[in-house]
């Protein structure tokens, strides 16, 4: 572990980098609110929680946002998967953890292939146990999650009973509002074909399992922690366009919330903070790997949701901005590596 004061300074710099609201989403307000509640660096608190997972433990992760669900539920967006893959990779390398990724069956192939490009070979739970015991392979376990409320609630009980996870991690995973509706950033109901993973996270919170969540818009799992601020500062935070009577804010909260201008950037920063804590550059999400994952996501048909096209811009930010964020995160923590 590095010098504690140095780590705190690096954490704060990572926070400052990824909170810059280049997408004009009102996310800086959410950062200030989350930061006040946390009382310390958001990125640092997330990295602390992830590094506190016991060696050989189990972490459940989720990401994946069905995009244009009213056209097809086969299409997912490219903010989320690369960040989740970066965090899973860092967890496996740092703590020899079994990472279980849950998402829609429809998005599973694309997210699986993104994780594989990040170095994690997809296996079953039984195979992951073998790999963990002899440390011979970095793995990921992919589990499809139900897309209706009742099955989603039942699957939550079954999964937490079976897996007994040490921590839950969510990035860019839309959660329902107080009326049970899943909204896009534009306030449109796009819950069709969407996995009800928020019920899994609600139950985890009830059971006292630590939950770390990353978001950039207010409609994601974890944002329940700053619900009043989502209502006040985010477009459609107060009133959606679907007529349900609520706003886009997700009701599901979390223990540690990381807000960023782009959820993938939040994950890149968290991986860097993990690397700084471990003094291990292998935990970094490098610019080179970000480039590879951007290409992988294009090849797997994940969409740049801002422009409505499959390309290597994410949330409307061009390719080089994501590679640059990874480079800057690496530069910020280089003093601890
Ligand atoms: Zn609505």
Q: How far apart are CA 245 and CA 178, in angstroms?
A: 9
CA 245–ligand 1 middle distance (angstroms): 6
Q: Which tops the pLDDT comparison, 25 or 211? A: 211
pLDDT at 8 over 60: yes
Contact partners, residue 140, CB within 8 Å, separation at least 6: 88, 92, 99, 101, 112, 115, 116, 120, 121, 122, 123
From the number of C-beta atoms within 10 Å of its C-beta (0-12, 13-18, 19+), residue 228 rates as exposed
Q: Token digits for 245? A: 């009577």
Does the pTM surpass 0.95? The reply is yes
CA 191–ligand 1 middle distance (angstroms): 10
Q: What is the largest CA-CA distance in the chain?
A: 54
pLDDT digits (tens, 9 = 90+) for 115-168: 999 999 999 999 999 999 999 999 999 999 999 999 999 999 999 999 999 999
Q: How far apart are CA 130 and CA 137, in angstroms?
A: 9
Question: pLDDT grade, residue 2 (50/70/90)?
Answer: low
CA 175–ligand 1 middle distance (angstroms): 12
pLDDT digits (tens, 9 = 90+) for 200-226: 999 999 999 999 999 999 999 999 999
Cα 315–Cα 316–Cα 322 angle in degrees, nearest 5: 75
Q: How far apart are CA 312 and CA 230, in angstroms?
A: 28
CA 6–ligand 1 middle distance (angstroms): 45
Output the pLDDT for position 25: 86
pLDDT digits (tens, 9 = 90+) for 260-314: 999 999 999 999 999 999 999 999 999 999 999 999 999 999 999 999 999 999 9
Q: How far apart are CA 331 and CA 207, in angstroms?
A: 38
CA 241–ligand 1 middle distance (angstroms): 6
Domains of the chain with bracketed CATH: 4-336 (3.90.1640.20)
Chain centroid to Cα 73, Å, comes to: 20
């Amino acid at each position: 572990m590095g010098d504690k004061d140095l780590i705190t300074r690096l954490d704060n710099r990572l926070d400052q980098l990824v909170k810059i609201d280049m997408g004009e989403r009102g996310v800086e307000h959410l950062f200030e609110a989350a930061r006040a509640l946390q009382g310390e660096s958001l990125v640092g608190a997330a990295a602390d929680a992830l590094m506190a997972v016991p060696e050989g433990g189990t972490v459940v992760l989720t990401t994946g946002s069905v995009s244009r669900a009213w056209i097809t539920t086969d299409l997912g967006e490219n903010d989320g998967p690369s960040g989740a893959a970066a965090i899973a990779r860092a967890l496996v390398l740092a703590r020899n953890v079994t990472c279980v990724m849950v998402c829609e069956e429809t998005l599973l192939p694309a997210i699986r292939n993104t994780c594989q490009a990040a170095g994690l070979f997809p296996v079953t739970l039984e195979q992951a146990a073998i790999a963990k015991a002899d440390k011979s392979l970095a793995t990921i376990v992919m589990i499809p999650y139900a897309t209706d409320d009742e099955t989603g609630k039942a699957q939550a009980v079954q999964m937490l009973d079976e897996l007994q996870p040490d921590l839950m991690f969510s990035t860019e995973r839309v959660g329902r509002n107080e009326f049970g509706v899943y909204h896009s950033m534009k306030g449109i109901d796009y819950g069709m074909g969407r996995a009800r993973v928020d019920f899994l996270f609600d139950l985890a919170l009830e059971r006292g399992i630590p939950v770390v969540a990353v978001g950039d818009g207010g409609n994601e799992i974890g944002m329940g922690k700053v619900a009043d601020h989502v209502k006040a500062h985010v477009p459609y935070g107060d009133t959606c366009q679907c007529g349900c009577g609520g706003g886009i804010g997700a009701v599901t909260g979390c223990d540690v919330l990381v807000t960023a201008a782009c959820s993938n950037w939040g994950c890149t920063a968290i991986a860097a903070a993990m690397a700084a804590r471990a003094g291990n550059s292998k935990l970094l999400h490098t610019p080179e790997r970000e480039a590879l994952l951007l290409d992988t996501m294009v090849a797997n048909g994940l969409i740049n949701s801002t422009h409505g096209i499959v390309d290597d811009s994410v949330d409307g930010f061009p390719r080089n901005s994501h590679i640059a964020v990874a480079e800057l995160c690496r530069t910020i923590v280089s003093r601890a590596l």
